[in-house]
Structures are given as C-alpha cells and as structure tokens.
C-alpha cells in the first residue's frame, strides 16, 4: 500500500542520520518533474585518520565524485539529498532495510525488513562482506580468498540497485549460461537476506554435466526446492521471466542472447560480465573498419581489445535505446580475470534521447558493424525508433 512521500522521507532522514547506517543509495528519477542532478548518490560511513566520516559518492554520466562529510556537514547534505527528485531509495541500517519507490502519483511504495546488518565503519581497505565468510557455499566451493573477493565484488554490483526489484515475492533470479553457477548461488543466498519472501533461481547451461553438478549442489545447500537447472541453449530454454537476470562470462554472442531475453521480459535488473568478443573481432579482421583507422588495428592485441570496447559499448547503447539505464564498470581486479567488465542495466521504460539513435547509426556505419544484439532486438528497436536495425 502506498504511503505519503513526505512521511517516508522523514523516516529516511532518521535512518540516514543514525549512527547505525550501513549503506544508502538514491537513484533513478520520478515519473514527473525534473531529473536529479546526479544519476545516483551513495552514502556510507568510513573511518579515516581524522575520525569517522560519512562518505558521499555522487555519480553522473562520466564519473564519480567523492567527498567525506564531517559531523557539521552531514545534516545539510542529507537534507539536500532528500530534497532531490530521486525515484528510488535503498537504505540499510543496523536494525533493518528500507526500500522506497516513488509512484506516478507521487506516493511511496515501501518495503521494510528487519534483516539489517550490523554497521561496520571501515577504511576502504576493509569491507564488510555481503555474504558471510562462513556461508556453506564457500565450504562447498573450497573457495580461496580470491574467489571470496570475486563473490563480494559481484554482489556489490547488485546491492545498489535492489530498489528495482523491491517487494517481489518470489524474487526470481535467472542465470543464462550459468556454468558452475557459484555466482548464481551467491546471488540467491545474498538476496534471501534482504528480500521479503522466497528467492528462486533458474540456471541455464548447454552442458548436461553442469546441470547435474549444480542440481546436486543445490540439494547440499538446502535450496533444491527453489532452484532449477536446465541443460539447454540460452535462446530456446523454457524459463519463466526473471526479475534479476545474469549472464556471467557467456561466450561471444551468447551474452547477446541473454541480454535479448532479459529485454523481452522487461527484466528490472540485469548484470552481464561478457567474455570473448569474436563477432566484432572477426569483422575488424575482415576489413569492416574504416580504412583510415587501419594502423590502429594492424596489431592483433590492439584489435582484440578494441573489439571488446566496441562490442560492449554498443551493447550498453542498445540497452539504453530500449528503456534501460546502464552502467559499465570494472567487475573484479584483473589479477582474477582479464574479462573484468560488467554491464549493469536497470529497466526504467523511459524513452531514449533521439541523439542516441543517431550516435548508434554513426558508429555502426563507420565500422561496418551489425551487432548480434541489434539483430535480436530489431523488432523492438523498429517499434521504438523506426527504420531498419
């Protein structure tokens, strides 16, 4: 049931000023009125040499701006943040979590849970893990410190955007191209601590061996009743629509197939960590690039890296054209994997700026490309923007 926004903002103010604040995120825009000056703002306590501070990170289209607030600055900063027209809030305190979405009528849909974390004020070098170090998943995996850090880095991609799936019961996670699925299980286990009801998981992988292995692991973890694995291709797998859709290191255009399925479901939250980019690389090798850039593509290693950037940049642009807000960021350190780029997309349904269509057509024409994702989304793109894709 919707609540008066003014009253909910007062509640949020108390949580943001409380010493037990763990983490808070304001994101998105409201259905009416101006957009916020920032795409997202995050707050969390940190311990510096000069003492405890509240760290504010304001993110725009180009970069993140960080400042550490002392006690005299906090109240003003919080009031300014609450006055901004953000559409979503996710606040974690010592005693619970509050998620807020502002409706078209300017009211607040609120989900409150009592599963808050104990606040841990920390220096950047020490972080509270989102999945407990003694979780049975790590025991089953025999996970070393590097694997644990990778799990934590992945969960931190999800955490700031959980307002997109607030109140869904059950909350359905779909991992397309799941492989060994340890990140799928990590997502399910973490989301179960912050969601009001059941968190179901469906994993899809071509290999029957992966299905059998992951099914057995689900039984050992005690989640067999809410978990299913299928041996099938991403495009044809019979899968209920996902609320959180993952595509982690799916090879080449398998990532595009996963993103296309997510778009077809209007999935609220999508996280993809692409793997190889053979399609674009092959096109560049075949001379599809503009001739005047030939010297840039002469060397194989540079050509491959440029193919990575071009492919994922176009994926992000295409998702924006079909109603998603998109961030492209580092997934984990390169010491763990060279494929460390993540695409995080949140469905807003907002119409795209027509200038983005012109930008997309200019890039693909110049480099002689027709990305697989554009082919898979061609009907949707034509419906929204006209023309051929």
Q: What is the distance between the alpha carbons of residues 319 and 84, in angstroms, rounded to a whole number?
A: 26
Distances (CA, A) of 313 to 58, 102, 213, 371: 23, 30, 34, 11
Say whether pLDDT at 267 is over 80. Answer: yes
In this prediction, residues 49-74 reach a mean pLDDT of 84
Q: How confident is the model at residue 387 (pLDDT cuts 50, 70, 90)?
A: very high
Q: What is the distance between the alpha carbons of residues 318 and 140, in angstroms, rounded to a whole number?
A: 38
In this prediction, residues 63-83 reach a mean pLDDT of 88
Tell me the fold of 136-385: Rossmann fold (3.40.50)
- The β-bridge partners of 108 are 3, 102
Q: What is the distance between the alpha carbons of residues 145 and 310, in angstroms, rounded to a whole number?
A: 33
- How high does pLDDT run on average in the chain? 87
The string of DSSP codes covering 239-264 is: -PPPSEEEEES--TTHHHHHHHHHHH
Alpha helices by DSSP H, listed for the chain, are 5-17, 71-83, 136-141, 145-158, 182-194, 208-221, 254-264, 278-285, 300-321, 354-367, 372-376, 378-385
Find the Cα–Cα–Cα–Cα dihedral 230, 236, 238, 242, rounded to 10°: 90
Residue 276, pLDDT score? 79
Beta-carbon-side half-sphere exposure of residue 304 (alpha carbons within 13 Å) = 9
Question: Do the bridges between strand 171-176 and strand 199-205 make them parallel or antiparallel, or are there none, so unpaired?
Answer: parallel
Residue 381, pLDDT score? 97
Buried/exposed 307-324: b ≥16 CB within 10 Å, e otherwise: bbebbbebbbbbbbbbbb
Give 341-372 pLDDT, tens digit per residue: 899 999 999 899 999 999 999 999 888 889 99
Residue 339, pLDDT score? 61
Q: How many CB atoms lie within 10 A of CB 366?
A: 13
Give 81-124 pLDDT, tens digit per residue: 999 999 999 998 877 889 999 998 889 999 888 744 433 444 44
- Cα three-residue angle 198-204-209, rounded to 5 degrees: 115
Residue 270, pLDDT score? 97
The residues of the chain that CATH labels 3.40.50.150 are 136-385
Q: What is the distance between the alpha carbons of residues 266 and 282, in angstroms, rounded to a whole number?
A: 31
Say whether pLDDT at 338 is over 60. Answer: no
Distances (CA, A) of 236 to 176, 256, 333, 337: 11, 14, 33, 29
Contact 381, 309 (CB under 8 A): no
Q: How confident is the model at residue 297 (pLDDT cuts 50, 70, 90)?
A: confident
Q: What is the distance between the alpha carbons of residues 237 and 234, in angstroms, rounded to a whole number?
A: 6
The string of DSSP codes covering 68-102 is: EE-HHHHHHHHHHHHHS-EEEEEEE-SS-EEEEEE
Q: What is the distance between the alpha carbons of residues 268 and 256, in angstroms, rounded to a whole number?
A: 17
Handedness of CA 273, 164, 267, 350 (dihedral sign): negative
In this prediction, residues 163-189 reach a mean pLDDT of 93
pTM above 0.75, yes or no: no
Distances (CA, A) of 159 to 154, 156, 329: 9, 5, 14
Q: What is the distance between the alpha carbons of residues 94 and 97, in angstroms, rounded to a whole number?
A: 8
Distances (CA, A) of 226 to 164, 167, 190, 222, 367: 21, 18, 14, 9, 45
- The β-bridge partners of 92 are 23, 97
């Amino acid at each position: 049931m919707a609540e008066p926004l003014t009253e909910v903002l007062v509640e949020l103010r108390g949580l943001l000023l409380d010493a037990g604040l763990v983490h808070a995120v304001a994101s998105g825009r409201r259905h009416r009125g101006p957009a916020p000056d920032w795409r997202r703002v995050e707050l969390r306590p940190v311990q510096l040499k000069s003492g405890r501070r509240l760290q504010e990170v304001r993110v725009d289209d180009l970069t993140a701006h960080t400042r550490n607030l002392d006690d005299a600055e906090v109240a003003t900063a919080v009031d300014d943040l609450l006055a901004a027209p953000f559409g979503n809030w996710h606040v974690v305190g010592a005693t619970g979590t509050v998620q807020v979405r502002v409706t078209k009528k300017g009211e607040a849909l609120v989900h409150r849970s009592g599963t808050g974390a104990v606040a841990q004020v920390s220096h950047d070098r020490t972080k509270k893990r989102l999945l407990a170090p003694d979780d049975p998943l790590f025991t089953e995996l025999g996970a070393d410190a590097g694997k644990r850090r990778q799990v934590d880095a992945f969960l931190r991609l999800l955490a700031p955007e959980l307002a997109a799936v607030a109140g869904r019961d059950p909350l359905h996670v779909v991992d397309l191209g799941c492989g060994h699925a340890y990140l799928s299980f990590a997502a399910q286990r973490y989301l179960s601590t912050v969601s009001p009801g059941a968190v179901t998981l469906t994993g899809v992988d071509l290999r029957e061996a992966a299905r059998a292995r992951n099914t057995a692991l689900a039984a050992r973890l005690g989640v067999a009743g809410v978990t299913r694995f299928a041996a099938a291709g991403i495009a044809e797998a019979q899968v209920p629509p996902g609320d959180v859709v993952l595509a982690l290191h799916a090879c080449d255009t398998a990532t595009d197939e996963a993103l296309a399925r997510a778009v077809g479901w209007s999935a609220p939250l999508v996280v993809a960590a692409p793997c190889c980019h053979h399609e674009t690389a092959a096109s560049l090798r075949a001379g599809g690039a503009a001739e005047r850039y030939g010297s840039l593509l002469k060397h194989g290693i540079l050509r491959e890296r440029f193919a990575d950037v071009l492919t994922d940049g176009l994926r992000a642009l295409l998702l924006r054209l079909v109603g998603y807000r998109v961030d492209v960021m580092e997934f984990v350190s390169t010491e763990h994997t060279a494929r460390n780029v993540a695409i995080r997309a949140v469905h807003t349904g907002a119409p795209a700026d027509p200038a983005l269509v012109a930008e997309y057509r200019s890039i693909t024409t110049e480099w002689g490309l027709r990305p697989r994702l554009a082919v898979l989304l061609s009907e949707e793109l034509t419906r929204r923007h006209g023309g051929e894709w």
